[in-house]
Structure 1
Amino acid sequence: MSGPAVLLVEDSGFMASHVSGTLEAAHGMDVRVAETAAEARQRLRDNDIDCLVVNTQLPDENGVEFVRSIQQSADLPSMPSLLFTGEFLEDVAAEAFDAGVVDVVSKEHHAGDSMVVFANRIKVAIDAFEQRLE
């Protein structure tokens, strides 16, 4: 059985490579990467994704507004979304949760080493989402 399919929307090539590589190698996740909101929307249409992890600032759209648009779209599948941010969590958390984000993850604190906490937060979000569907 393969791990969960995660779409990481991250415009930093270094960060995308580091996060996707670690989540795949150390945690068995199937991570796909999109650099823009537009590319992410296309990947969501073309792939079966279990969880969306979105950077706060994207080249073509604000990450929070992107998640809000995904949550409100009848054309895109429903899934848990996590916001991945380098900003102070307090500065983005309220708006993110209002937009439908289920968790806000700090790049500074959770994107290093083996990313055990980050991976667990993704898995918890997926499990909680699936239980709500039952």
Structure 2
Amino acid sequence: MTAKAGLSQINIVVSDLDASIAFYEKLGLTFSVDAGQPSHATCELPDGTFVMLDTEEAVTRFTPGWTRPTGGPRVAFGFGLPTAKAVDALYEELVAAGHPSLREPWSSEWGVRYATVVDPDGTPADLQAPLDGS
């Protein structure tokens, strides 16, 4: 029987490392950049999973033939917040900082407050919280 793999890291290819770090840090992630690898940043989540940011230039060095994707996003990240008001406040902060909105805050029929902004490379970041206790 083959051993089952566990998700250990998420790699995001970015065009501007500093802009991406600034965006994701507003969403609660904290990155470190190794001086020996200035085109790479790492964030360790509490469960031990890593979120990695690599520049397009770096990816072309270790993935021959890589090209920037075209069309719509292929992934979206969801960020949980404690309250609906927190969704609205963080959405406003990100949009005021110049990050485009894909969808303004709205309340779903199944009891969740949502909003969607995009990172500097167009990857959606969904902000979400239960409506109870708003």
Query: What TM-score do you get using the length of structure 1 for normalisation?
Result: 0.30
Normalised TM-score (structure 2)? 0.30
Q: From the CA coordinates, give the structure whose radius of gyration is larger.
A: 2
